[in-house]
Structure 1
Amino acid sequence: MAASAARGRNWAEIITGAVILAVAAFFLIFAINQSGRSLGGGAGVHLTARFDRIDGLAPGADVRIGGVKVGSVVEQHIDPRTYLAVLRLNLQQGLDIPEDSSAEITSESLLGGKYVALVPGGSDTMLKDGGEISITQSAVSLESLLGRFIFSVTELTAQNSKPNSGAAEAPAQPAAPSPAPARP
C-alpha cells in the first residue's frame, strides 16, 4: 500500500513539473513575440547597408520607418576591404522599399538606444531580397559634438576677454582747476 502511494505521489510530481515547464515555455514564447524578435532566422526581406560608424547599435536593434518598427538588425560586421560597418537588416514580409531609400542611424533620445531609420525614396523600382541600401548616414557621436561645443564656447570666451588690440589708450589728463569764487 505504501508503494502505491509513493508511485501516485511520483506521478503527481511529474505532472506538476510538466505543467510548470509548459507554462514557462508559453511565457518565454510570448515574451519573445512581444519584444519583436523571432526564434528562427526570420522570414521577410533581408537588406544590407554600409556605414562609416554605427556607435552603440547592436544586433536586435529596431529598424523603423516613420517611427514604426518594421524590422530589426540581424547582423553586423566589418568589410575588410573598405573598413565600413555592414549591417544586415530583416524587414517585414511584403514591405516594398524603393531603391533610392536612405538609412540613417539615430538615437531614441539623448540617453536612449540607437536604431536604423529608413526614409523611403520615390523610385518605382523596389529593392529585392538581398539588396543593398546605398544612401546611408552614420551615427553622430554625442561625445564629439559636445567636445566641439565646449571648445567653441571656450574659444569664444577667450576672444571676448582679450583687450582691444587697436590704438593704445591715451593716459587720462588731469582736469584743469576751476577758478575760485570771488569773495566780497
Structure 2
Amino acid sequence: MRGRSVTEVAAGGVVLLVAIAFLIFAVTNSGRGGISGPAVSLTAKFDRIDGLAPGADVRIAGVKVGSVTNQRIDPQTFLAVLTMRVDGSLRLPDDSSAEIASEGLLGGKFVSIVPGGSDRILADGGQITITQSSISLESLLGRFIFSMTEGQGSNAQGRQEGGTATPR
C-alpha cells in the first residue's frame, strides 16, 4: 500500500512539472509580448467594440504590430475610444483606417489597420479617424432568421388565399 502511494505521488509530480513546462512554453511563445523598440500611441473611435478587450492584437495585413492598451467611452459622443500602442517604425499615414475584425465565428476580436496613401504620418498621440465598428454576429443571425420566417409566413399565406387543394 505504501509503495503504491509513493508511486502515485511521483506520477502526480511528473504530471505537474510537465503542465508547468507547457504553461511556460505557451506564455513565452504566444506572441503576446510587448513591442520591441519604439512605439507610438494612437486612438480611434468606434460605434461598437463588442468583445474587444485591452491586450487585444492590433494587426496590419494579419501581422501583429501592437496591442490595445485602453478603452473608454467619450462622454460627449458616447463612442468607444480605443488607445493602442503600435510599432513606431511603421510610419502609418494619417489617412489609415481601423476596423474591429474577428478571427472567426468563435475566435477573439482584434483591430485591423489598413494603411492609407497620404504623405503625412500619424504622430505619437495621433488619432485614426476612419473606422469601422464591430459587426454583431448575433444581430446578423437574428435578421437572417427573421427574414426566413417572414418569407415562410408569406408563402403559407399565399397558398391559403390563392391555392387549391388537390385530392389524393
Provide TM-score, normalisation by structure 1: 0.69
Q: Quickly say closer, same or farther: Cα 1:79–1:168, change in 2 above 3 A.
A: closer
Give the C-alpha shift of residue 88 in structure 1: 0.4
Structure possessing the higher radius of gyration over alpha carbons:
1
Provide structure 2 residue ranges, at least 5 long, that are not aligned to the other structure: 1-19
Aligned residue in 1 for 2:49? 54
Aligned residue in 2 for 1:9? none
Give the C-alpha shift of residue 81 in structure 1: 1.0
Provide TM-score, normalisation by structure 2: 0.75
Q: Quickly say closer, same or farther: Cα 1:32–1:89, change in 2 above 3 A.
A: farther
Aligned residue in 1 for 2:121? 126
Give the C-alpha shift of residue 38 in structure 1: 3.1
Provide structure 1 residue ranges, at least 5 long, that are not aligned to the other structure: 1-23, 170-184
The answer to whether structure 1 residue 163 and structure 2 residue 158 are counterparts is yes
Aligned residue in 2 for 1:106? 101
Q: How far apart, CA to CA, are the structure 1 residues paired with 2:124 and 2:29?
A: 23
CA contact (8 A) 2:38 2:89 kept: no
Q: Quickly say closer, same or farther: Cα 1:32–1:44, change in 2 above 3 A.
A: farther
Pick aligned residue for 2:146 from 143, 151, 155: 151
- Name the SS for the 1:73 alignment partner: strand
- Name the SS for the 1:50 alignment partner: strand
Q: How far apart, CA to CA, are the structure 2 residues paired with 1:65 and 1:103?
A: 10
The answer to whether structure 1 residue 35 and structure 2 residue 21 are counterparts is no
Aligned residue in 1 for 2:3? none
Aligned residue in 1 for 2:91? 96
CA contact (8 A) 2:100 2:111 kept: yes
In the alignment, residue 80 of structure 1 is paired with which amino acid?
P
Instruction: State the Cα deviation string for residues 102-150 of structure 1 (Å, max 9, x = none).
Output: 0000100011000000011111111111100000000011110000000
Q: How far apart, CA to CA, are the structure 1 residues paired with 2:163 and 2:110?
A: 58
Aligned residue in 2 for 1:85? 80
- Name the SS for the 1:148 alignment partner: helix
In the alignment, residue 78 of structure 2 is paired with which amino acid?
Y
Give % identity: 59
Give the C-alpha shift of residue 93 in structure 1: 2.5
In the alignment, residue 155 of structure 1 is paired with which amino acid?
E
CA contact (8 A) 1:37 1:60 kept: no
The answer to whether structure 1 residue 66 and structure 2 residue 61 are counterparts is yes
Aligned residue in 1 for 2:12? none
Q: How far apart, CA to CA, are the structure 2 residues paired with 1:168 and 1:75?
A: 61
Q: Quickly say closer, same or farther: Cα 1:109–1:89, change in 2 above 3 A.
A: same
- Name the SS for the 2:66 alignment partner: strand
